[in-house]
């Protein structure tokens, strides 16, 4: 909540409204005396709140005064951990939070804050010696950073508290710690598995909504709702049903953009993506695709020929600078060729994918029939059904699509996720104009 103080807007900090702690949470408070204490499981299952309470208790009772808090980035650490930590201590304990220098002092204890996705993170903790480490979203961190942080906890009585959602069962944290019976028998590692039932503070309607949000993807449902470490297997868009996800007659559209997947000596494909806007959620229609396979044709296409394809589509759909051409991040020479060619009237943007996040978005659209492909787009219809997870990458703990017949799914991303991300950025910039 914002209130005015001496002409400036300041954020009012509301004290944390404690609800119910489940019996699993109480067990974690009482028994988390191992060197490495891991809370893993479903989203929203109270892992972070329980870790926060335990962390405050841990640092208060430690004879030392230097600790470490990590997460994906300093921004996510602030949102996921610091805001609740502050609302738990505000008005009760002295604190000083400095996001930019990366620390929070609580009483006379200093906790350094490091984002493991931020550049140079591992080197920043390299020389540190701390008496404890709280790692939020630890499964998203590189193994080297986790190992480095562990080695920093060398002061007597040091303890580690990690929270995370499940990933692949080949993930190093799952293999080396969660399922390591030797370390668990010795009491070096202790593990608590949380599911939505372990958080009695969530409204039943919220839980239902959460479940339906993840329903589109079996993988995400199993990991984020059921809290299981399972592999991504089989077809990625397994909810695609040809009769439901294709269309013949063009619906009413509010926007049309062109998207692309680019391969110098493989396939270059362009798509014309129509958007039907709806406050309940937009729908996306692939109206047309081009597909040039250099291996089949026996000769690579030049960038000038690709620009010709773009201009043909642009003119056929009467597109101009109200429409956008989303080019992939690795198509620098094609971008230059488009910028030089005065026939290209559309805005040109580079789209950098977030592969697994984009897959999740498209899975939801396919499952809710909000992404449809024109019956004439044969390659897209085929690849929607054959696009699969890569088994070899899974064995190394990574979720990756197989790099085979993936050109159309890669092409759709810019047309679907490109406009979504542009809209999100605009909302973010507008909200930054509020003085806090
Ligand atoms: N003891 C509690 N009292 C009041 N609210 C709680 C309590 N435990 C959890 N909550 C609330 O439940 C929600 C989810 O909790 P939390 O963020 O700890 O879950 P999580 O398991 O860390 O989720 P994620 O995996 O998404 O990070 C939050 O809104 C949190 O404030
Ligand atoms: Mg959390």
pLDDT tens figures, 212-243: 888 888 888 999 999 999 988 889 999 999 99
Residues with CB under 5 A from ligand 2 (ion): 48
What pLDDT is recorded for position 397?
Answer: 82
Same domain flag for 47 and 140: yes
Pick the residue whose CA is nearest to atom 14 on ligand 1: 44
What pLDDT is recorded for position 3?
Answer: 46
Q: For position 118, which CATH number holds?
A: 3.40.50.300
Same domain flag for 210 and 256: no
What pLDDT is recorded for position 136?
Answer: 97
Same domain flag for 255 and 211: no
Same domain flag for 312 and 258: yes
Q: Is residue 237 part of a domain?
A: no
Is-contact 86 13, C-beta < 8 A? yes
Q: For tokens 């890569």, name the residue.
A: 390
Same domain flag for 291 and 406: yes
What pLDDT is recorded for position 102?
Answer: 93
Same domain flag for 201 and 263: no
- In a mutational test of the pocket of ligand 1, which residue from 49, 167, 202 has the highest number of ligand atoms less than 8 Å from its CB? 49
Pick the residue whose CA is nearest to atom 13 on ligand 1: 44
Tally of CB atoms within 10 A around 211: 14
Same domain flag for 155 and 205: yes
What pLDDT is recorded for position 425?
Answer: 58
β-sheet bridge partners, residue 258: 272, 325
β-sheet bridge partners, residue 96: 105
Query: What is the rounded radius of gyration, in angstroms, for the C-alpha atoms of the chain?
Result: 25
Residues spanned by the domain of 36: 12-219
Q: Ligand 1 mean position to 129 CA, how many Å?
A: 30
Q: Which of 205, 204, 210 is nearest to 226 (CA)?
A: 210
Burial class (CB in 10 A: 0-12, 13-18, 19+), 91: exposed
Q: How many residues does the chain have?
A: 436
The first and second tokens of residue 208, run together, are 């239902």
Same domain flag for 115 and 170: yes
Name every protein residue with a CB atom under 6 angstroms from any ligand 1 atom. 18-19, 21, 43-49, 163, 165, 194, 199, 201-202
- In a mutational test of the pocket of ligand 1, which residue from 18, 24, 48 has the highest number of ligand atoms less than 8 Å from its CB? 48
Q: Which of 104, 102, 105 is nearest to 74 (CA)?
A: 102
Q: Which of 186, 219, 252 is the last residue of a domain?
A: 219
Is-contact 35 183, C-beta < 8 A? no
* pTM (whole model) above 0.85: no
Q: Is residue 173 part of a domain?
A: yes
Q: Number of folded domains in the chain? A: 2
The first and second tokens of residue 229, run together, are 């470490």
Q: Which atom of ligand 1 is nearest to the CA of 42?
A: 25
Pick the residue whose CA is nearest to atom 16 on ligand 1: 46
Q: Which atom of ligand 1 is nearest to the CA of 47?
A: 21
Same domain flag for 127 and 22: yes
Q: For position 348, which CATH number holds?
A: 3.30.420.280
Q: Which of 338, 316, 317 is nearest to 327 (CA)?
A: 338
The first and second tokens of residue 206, run together, are 């919220």
Q: Residue 379 and residue 250: Cα distance in Å, rounded? A: 19
Pick the residue whose CA is nearest to atom 3 on ligand 1: 19
Q: Residue 347 and residue 322: Cα distance in Å, rounded? A: 7
Q: Which atom of ligand 1 is nearest to the CA of 19?
A: 3
The secondary structure of 142-202 as a DSSP string is -HHHHHHHHHH--STT-EEEEEE----TTSHHIIIIIT-HHHHHHTSEEEEEE-GGG-TTS
Which ligand is located closest to the Cα atom of residue 17? 1
What pLDDT is recorded for position 6?
Answer: 52
Q: Is residue 34 part of a domain?
A: yes
Q: Which atom of ligand 1 is nearest to the CA of 51?
A: 18
Q: Residue 28 and residue 33: Cα distance in Å, rounded? A: 9
Is-contact 335 327, C-beta < 8 A? yes
For residue 319, the 8-state DSSP code is -
Q: Residue 163 and residue 84: Cα distance in Å, rounded? A: 15
Q: Is residue 366 part of a domain?
A: yes
Same domain flag for 248 and 215: no
Helix (H, G, I), strand (E, B) or coil at 323: coil
Same domain flag for 205 and 248: no
Q: Residue 310 and residue 244: Cα distance in Å, rounded? A: 29
Pick the residue whose CA is nearest to atom 26 on ligand 1: 43
Q: Ligand 2 mean position to 69 CA, how many Å?
A: 13
pLDDT per position in the chain (436 positions), as tens?
Answer: 444 455 555 567 889 999 999 999 999 999 999 999 999 999 999 999 999 999 999 999 999 999 999 999 999 999 999 999 999 998 899 999 999 999 999 999 999 999 998 667 788 898 899 999 999 999 999 899 999 999 999 999 999 999 999 999 999 999 999 999 999 999 999 999 999 999 999 999 999 999 988 888 888 899 999 999 998 888 999 999 999 999 999 999 999 999 999 998 899 999 999 999 999 899 999 999 999 999 889 999 999 999 999 999 999 999 999 999 999 999 999 999 999 999 999 999 999 999 999 999 999 999 999 999 999 999 999 999 999 999 888 888 888 999 999 999 999 999 999 999 876 655 444 443 332 2
């Amino acid at each position: 909540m914002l209130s005015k103080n001496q002409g400036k807007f300041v954020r009012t900090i509301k004290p944390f409204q404690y609800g119910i702690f489940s019996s699993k949470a109480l067990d974690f408070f009482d028994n988390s005396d191992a060197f490495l204490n891991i809370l893993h499981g479903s989203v929203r299952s109270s892992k972070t709140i329980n870790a926060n309470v335990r962390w405050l208790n841990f640092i208060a009772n430690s004879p030392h005064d230097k600790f470490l808090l990590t997460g994906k980035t300093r921004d996510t650490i602030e949102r996921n951990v610091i805001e609740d930590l502050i609302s738990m201590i505000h008005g009760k304990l002295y604190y000083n939070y400095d996001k930019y220098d990366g620390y929070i002092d609580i009483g006379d204890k200093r906790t350094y804050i490091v984002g493991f996705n931020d550049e140079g993170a591992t080197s920043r903790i390299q020389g540190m010696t701390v008496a404890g480490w709280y790692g939020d979203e630890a499964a998203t961190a590189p193994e080297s950073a986790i190992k480095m942080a562990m080695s920093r906890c060398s002061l007597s009585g040091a303890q580690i508290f990690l929270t995370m959602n499940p990933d692949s069962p080949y993930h190093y944290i799952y293999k080396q710690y969660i399922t390591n019976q030797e370390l668990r028998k010795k009491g070096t590692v202790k593990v608590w598995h949380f599911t939505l039932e372990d958080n009695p503070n969530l409204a039943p309607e919220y839980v239902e909504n959460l479940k339906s949000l993840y329903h589109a993807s079996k993988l995400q449902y199993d990991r984020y709702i059921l809290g299981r470490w399972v592999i991504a297997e089989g077809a990625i868009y397994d909810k695609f049903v040809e009769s439901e996800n294709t269309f013949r007659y063009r619906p009413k559209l509010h926007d049309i953009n062109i998207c692309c997947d680019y391969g110098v000596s493989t396939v270059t494909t362009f798509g014309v993506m129509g958007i039907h806007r709806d406050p309940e959620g937009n729908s996306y229609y692939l109206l047309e695709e081009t597909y040039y396979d250099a291996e089949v044709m026996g000769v690579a296409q030049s960038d000038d020929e690709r620009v010709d394809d773009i201009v043909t589509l642009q003119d056929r759909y009467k597109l101009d600078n109200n429409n956008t051409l989303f080019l992939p991040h690795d198509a620098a020479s094609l971008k230059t060729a488009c910028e030089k060619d005065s026939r290209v009237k559309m805005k040109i943007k580079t789209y950098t994918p977030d592969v697994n996040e984009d897959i999740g978005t498209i899975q939801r659209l396919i499952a809710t029939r909000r992404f449809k492909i024109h019956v004439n787009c044969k390659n897209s219809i085929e690849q929607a059904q054959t696009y699969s997870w890569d088994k070899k990458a899974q064995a190394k703990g990574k979720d990756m699509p197989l790099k085979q017949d993936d050109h159309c799914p890669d092409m759709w991303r810019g047309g679907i996720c490109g406009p979504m991300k542009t809209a999100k950025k605009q909302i973010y910039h507008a909200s930054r104009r509020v003085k806090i």
